[in-house]
Chain A
């Protein structure tokens, strides 16, 4: 019987306390903001949309290798002697035409693992977070600044250079002796990004 009345008392008492808490909150200032009108300032470390500064990119493919979800696709063509691509703002010489630098931001998991290995600090995460699209294909960002004509031109130049070089080599080897050895079989596969970038890989490791 005592328990019975204690239960009743407990119910009213605890409900009263709870109501007191909610009543106090009725008059406290709200913690939410009116989002599109008011926006929180993000920290400078914010990790949102990826951005690539193509002027500095040397096409070393480090970011693409670091990406755990393979959302970065890079294709390069080696620049041949008459063209000089200059140097990046960090002083690294650019040796490759970056014919394709695609980031599928829909796949991106914002882990920022691509940012750290970049030797020229050209890929970085910005504080832009409002980039939703109605069509998923619009989320495939093309960062490469080259037009298709330029890409074709660069590829052609490289092929020509390659052919010239092979011919020159052949000439010299033919002169020396007629052994059937091909000097650089791997170089035939032009445009394949993974095989075209050994010069810069060591630099990025340091």
Chain B
């Protein structure tokens, strides 16, 4: 019927939409249910992190702001900033501090991935895994709370050390969790990962080939989901990650094509297993005695200069570019946000898919808007 007039429909997904994980707005151009184009619009959560940092009296005061970037994985953000500053100041921290940092960063990685896979189930329509994930995340947050008193925004890792020493029963608690958690991963797999409907929804959807992923400079589980074997913990070791034994998980296209949503999802699930391995090693390694504040400088006054330090957060490569003019407050703090870079891949992989697939793709990229907009 040539006389039948059809037109494309432009529809706004977000900023108030349950599946955009915050306040992302995706402008969808639809042909029926087929996505012709998807244009992400960001900035609804912009809080001037970088400008704020410049007006701080002290480098230490930047850390509470850093917490609020990727609020699902605050420890990882702090770790990156602390490492950047320590390199700038030339501070060496003790083995005990490094071990606690690694344990915390990996626990935080598990907590963050639990949110990611839980909300991913929610995007696909399964409600129950979400609350099961949050149940287990609470256990991690309990460990954090008993150590530093906060559950979400910790201000725990300081430049040169930690804000609190760990409580006396810390090792037991972490060992308990290491025991408790692996059976739960199996439960998530039973309930969600290998569910036929879930596989149908995610396999062969939003395929991101390795070369495209590299061209877009994506990192973290997105890049590894596309089969690129790249993990900063192994390839550019920071802290004491080079002394632990763990595997870098990559997507293999078990259920469909390499680089589809299911691969990105399964990379997260298996990374949790690897994190458990690292935690188990770190707990055994951790010395019992030692002052965690021994290397904390009285005044942080770095020499004039600049530094770029990058770490592997649960979402990818988080880099801090810090310029110091020799004064007490930073001249410039720039954060290379993994979510922002990863999100830029969205239009490329969602063209030609359906509306429901866009939800699945956004979920599999696992963005945190606090970090994108900063």
Contacts and interface: CB of A to CB of B under 8 A. Distances in A.
A113 B61 contact: yes
A121 to B, nearest CB: 15
Contact of B197 (A11, A67, A116): A11
A20 B56 CA distance: 54
Contacts of A67: 61
Interface stretch (A39-47, A136-144, A155-163, A166-174): A39-47
A68 B49 CA distance: 12
A186 B322 CA distance: 37
A178 interface: no
Contacts of A42: 145
Given A18-B190, A66-B58, A111 B196 contact: no
A22 B67 CA distance: 35
Given A111-B64, A111-B153, A21 B190 contact: yes
Contacts of B164: 45
B194 interface: yes
Given A45-B146, A47-B149, A47-B150, A109 B64 contact: yes
Given A14-B196, A15-B196, A205-B298, A110 B191 contact: no
A45 B65 contact: no
A49 interface: no
Interface residues of B, number: 35
A125 interface: yes
B191 A43 contact: no
Q: Say which size band chain A's interface belongs to.
A: 20 to 34
A202 B57 CA distance: 17
A79 interface: no
Contacts of A125: 149
Nearest to A43: B146
Interface string B55-78: 011101111110110000000000
B135 interface: yes
A45 B148 contact: yes
A205 B58 CA distance: 14
B293 to A, nearest CB: 9
Interface string A53-85: 000000000000111110000000000000000
Contacts of A15: 195-197
B97 to A, nearest CB: 17
A7 interface: yes
A10 interface: yes
Interface string B26-62: 0000000000000000000000000000001110111
Contacts of B196: 7, 10-11, 13-15
A18 B61 CA distance: 47
A66 to B, nearest CB: 7
Residue among A42, A113, A205 with the highest chain B CB neighbour number at 10 A: A113
Interface string A91-102: 000000000000
Contacts of A109: 64, 68, 153
A65 B64 contact: no
A18 B191 contact: yes
B211 interface: no
Given A14-B195, A112-B163, A68 B61 contact: yes
Contacts of B153: 109-111
A17 interface: yes
A31 interface: yes
Contacts of B67: 111
Nearest to A65: B57
Interface in A108-122: 109-113, 116
Contact of B187 (A10, A21, A68, A205): A21
B19 interface: no
A113 to B, nearest CB: 7
A20 B322 CA distance: 52
A31 B135 contact: yes
Contacts of B187: 21
A116 B148 CA distance: 13
Interface in B141-187: 145-150, 153, 155, 163-164, 167, 187
A110 B151 CA distance: 11
Given A21-B191, A22-B191, A113 B64 contact: yes
Given A15-B196, A18-B191, A31-B138, A68 B64 contact: yes
B61 A66 contact: yes
Residue among B61, B68, B153 with the highest chain A CB neighbour number at 10 A: B61
Contacts of A68: 56, 61-62, 64-65
A68 B190 CA distance: 46
Contact of B155 (A10, A69, A111): A111
Interface of B: 56-58, 60-65, 67-68, 128, 132, 135, 138, 145-150, 153, 155, 163-164, 167, 187, 190-192, 194-197, 298
Given A7-B196, A46-B145, A66-B60, 8 more contacts: A15-B195, A21-B187, A25-B132, A43-B145, A68-B56, A110-B150, A113-B61, A116-B163
Interface of A: 7, 10-11, 13-15, 17-18, 20-22, 25, 31, 42-43, 45-47, 65-69, 109-113, 116, 125, 205
7 contacts: A14-B195, A45-B145, A45-B147, A66-B61, A110-B150, A112-B163, A116-B163
